[in-house]
Structure 1
Amino acid sequence: MAVPSRTKEEALSSKHVLAALKAVSDETRIRILLVLSIAPLNVQEVTEVLSMGQSRISRHLKILLDAGFLDSQREGSWVYYKVKDDGATHHFSAEIFSVISRYEKQLTHSVQDAAKAKEILKQRGLKTARYFDFVAKNWESLQRDVLDPVLYRKKILQLLPDSLVRTLDMGCGPGGLIPYLLTKSREIVGIDSSESMIREASDSFLNNPNVRFIASDLELLPSELDSSADAAVASMVLHHISNPPKAMKEIHRALKEDGTFIIVDLKKHTQEFMRDSFADLWLGFEPELVSEWLENSGFGIHSIEEIETQKYFKVLIIKAKKKGGR
């Protein structure tokens, strides 16, 4: 009796299964997967965590990438790697990673690897915080040297609903956007990880009972904000954050059902001077990637626009809504 030939889909599935099993048959690659599940890291940072040579790490990263466990993102001369989000991961790879994660604490090196990765992220955050502490008083004028904030702040107002009760200004800086937001919302909560920025903003709104500020990591918002806001705005902030998808999930948690989320950021570019001059971690974003992050975080995309500037950049403006409302 003839054995029926496999369909193309079955053959592809079998090939993927074998590649995935081979990829996790090596202890180093399992360590890399667990480290990259914490946050995106570049090759140099992964070698620092695992204390291994760059060529060896690069080879393991390629195997994991080819097997469908990782995504790569080029940022100028740097390439970052991260574990694929659940929504973008092949079902079989996601199941394997789920099993590995459940036994993470029992695996050799896992605790020390995680501690090293978190220290790298802490140093990233400290570097960014030191920069913004230093420029807090001059931030508005520094922004105008590269982009005119009025250009996109007016657009934010067009996209926000009227008569909002509470709006979150994510990465509020010294508060330049807040007067605009007050025309749409009864209360504004400004959130920033820089203590100096919070002080500058607080001094500007001392006599306004409808504005308050919280010093917080945007990737770990306080529980008091859970389901409390009608809208959130992240204006020129995501490219400073180590893990933008994690920040989006935190914003999702803070919004009420059907809450509006406005993102304003730079479109993907190649101007690497922005890393040193403005402490940018990411050189902008492609709209498709931001859309994927939003959808995986529980948002529905309502509109995506691009604005031309007179400098090197295009500005990306995205309106999304938390799913669950009508």
Structure 2
Amino acid sequence: MTHTEIYKPDQVRTIRYQRPHLRPENDVQKDAQKVIQLVAERCSLDLDVLLGNIRTQRVAQVRWVAMHLLNQLLHMSLPAIGKALNRHHTSVMVGLRRVDAQIVADAVYAERLAEVKSRNAESAARYFSKNARDWDQIRSHHIAEQAVEQQLLELIGTQHFGSLLDVGTGTGRMLQLFQDSYTDGVGIDSSLDMLAVARANLDASGTSHAQVRFGDIFNLPVARNSFDVAVVHQVLHFLDDPARAVRKTAQALRPGGRLLIIDFSPHHLEFLRDENAHRRLGFSDELMSEWIEDAGLDLRSVTHLAPENPDGNALTVSIWLAQDPRMLMANDLMADDLISSTSLSPMEKV
């Protein structure tokens, strides 16, 4: 059973941005090789470890060294380097993909990369085996995930957008679900075990234009105003301060960017607190609307998905779609100015 309420009649618009000018491919590859070599020498890291960290996006383990090496190579201050990386996020992502392609083309690197992926897959399988029973128990109380995912695809629409942020990515499912809709995807999670699962799933599905990173939802390792769509899927009920998580995620959105929050409606399944570490037993529309407004976003729609045959232990899945109003407000002002400039005065009409 599906119930959707549309809060505003105007169609949700996706803002597309022109990519910044990219440096020549040879320069990108040469600089990348130099940085990788210097990082390995400075950290005395085994090449397998370093390659695994880079390819699996465990950036936190080498970030501070890489920043200082860029400081030496480019003769720029650390704050200036940080600002440049944030400002040219898209071109950096494209450059990383080019480096990835060169690494894979090298037979030795490709063999070692295959070993890293194999270890990730084995780790993911062990973690799934250990936790599958708990997940299956929760799934048995709510509507099929396929129905939820179909609703998410309908809400986002078919128009392509630039970048997707998946906060609390878990298995990486949202990155896979929307893989045909975005150009670059980033998933954040604070569990190394779940990141191993996500990486294995992305590799298996061929989702090469997405990456996952270790990070804290309250201190996201991404730049502000840098994503077209952000997703928080079944995460907030684990948090002590979900309102703050909504605000932090909203800060990562570009003007006109959209936020999808998927979680449970209010329920009374107390066992989820003790057995599954749930801090909140669902969220009301009123409370979520307040948090979204406090984050500076406009609530666009609310959808409730109830199980086919609900019982006393049924969980209703709720989907809240919000949008950053900044670009929309600017467009409305421009439209008003255009109307004013083309309107005839009473004297002219005569």
TM-score using structure 2 length = 0.52
- The aligned counterpart of 2:327 is 325
Given that 2:303 and 2:318 are in contact with CA atoms closer than 8 Å, whether structure 1 keeps it comes out as yes
Structure 2 unaligned regions, length at least 5: 1-126, 329-350
- Give the Cα–Cα distance (whole angstroms) in 2 for the partners of residues 138 and 290 of structure 1: 30
1:170-217, CA deviations, whole angstroms, 9 ceiling, x for partnerless residues? Answer: 211112232211132122211111110011111222353201001111
Q: Residue 275 of structure 1: CA displacement?
A: 1.2
Q: Residue 144 of structure 1: CA displacement?
A: 3.1
Alignment of 1:87-98 (within 5 A): none
- Give the Cα–Cα distance (whole angstroms) in 1 for the partners of residues 130 and 259 of structure 2: 27
- Residue 171 in structure 1 maps to residue 168 in structure 2: yes
- Residue 152 in structure 1 maps to residue 148 in structure 2: yes
Given that 1:257 and 1:322 are in contact with CA atoms closer than 8 Å, whether structure 2 keeps it comes out as yes
- Give the Cα–Cα distance (whole angstroms) in 2 for the partners of residues 175 and 252 of structure 1: 20
- Residue 304 in structure 1 maps to residue 302 in structure 2: yes
TM-score using structure 1 length = 0.55
Aligned residues, how many?
194
Given that 1:136 and 1:173 are in contact with CA atoms closer than 8 Å, whether structure 2 keeps it comes out as no
Give the percent of matched residue pairs that are identical in Structure 1 and Structure 2: 27
User: What letter is aligned with 1:152?
Assistant: V
1:284-309, CA deviations, whole angstroms, 9 ceiling, x for partnerless residues? Answer: 01110000010011000111121111
Alignment of 1:118-137 (within 5 A): none
Q: Residue 225 of structure 1: CA displacement?
A: 2.9
Alignment of 1:86-235 (within 5 A): 141=136, 143-147=138-142, 148-161=144-157, 162-206=159-203, 208-222=207-221, 224-235=222-233
- Flag the structure with higher strand content: 1
- Give the Cα–Cα distance (whole angstroms) in 1 for the partners of residues 184 and 131 of structure 2: 23
1:199-254, CA deviations, whole angstroms, 9 ceiling, x for partnerless residues? Answer: 111122235320100111112212x3321110011111111112111111111111
- The aligned counterpart of 1:286 is 284
- Secondary structure of 1:281 counterpart: coil
* Cα gap change, 1:136 to 1:194, in 2 (>3 Å): farther
1:116-140, CA deviations, whole angstroms, 9 ceiling, x for partnerless residues? Answer: xxxxxxxxxxxxxxxx999566776
Q: Residue 264 of structure 1: CA displacement?
A: 1.0
Alignment of 1:27-66 (within 5 A): none
Which of the pair has more CA radius of gyration? 2
Given that 1:219 and 1:243 are in contact with CA atoms closer than 8 Å, whether structure 2 keeps it comes out as no
1:38-84, CA deviations, whole angstroms, 9 ceiling, x for partnerless residues? Answer: xxxxxxxxxxxxxxxxxxxxxxxxxxxxxxxxxxxxxxxxxxxxxxx
User: What letter is aligned with 2:234?
Assistant: M
Given that 2:229 and 2:257 are in contact with CA atoms closer than 8 Å, whether structure 1 keeps it comes out as yes
Q: Residue 282 of structure 1: CA displacement?
A: 0.2
User: What letter is aligned with 2:233?
Assistant: S
Given that 2:176 and 2:207 are in contact with CA atoms closer than 8 Å, whether structure 1 keeps it comes out as no
Aligned Cα RMSD in Å?
2.2
Alignment of 1:229-248 (within 5 A): 229-248=227-246
Structure 1 unaligned regions, length at least 5: 1-131
The one of the two structures with greater contact order (alpha-carbon pairs below 8 A, sep at least 6) is: 2
- Give the Cα–Cα distance (whole angstroms) in 2 for the partners of residues 133 and 220 of structure 1: 27
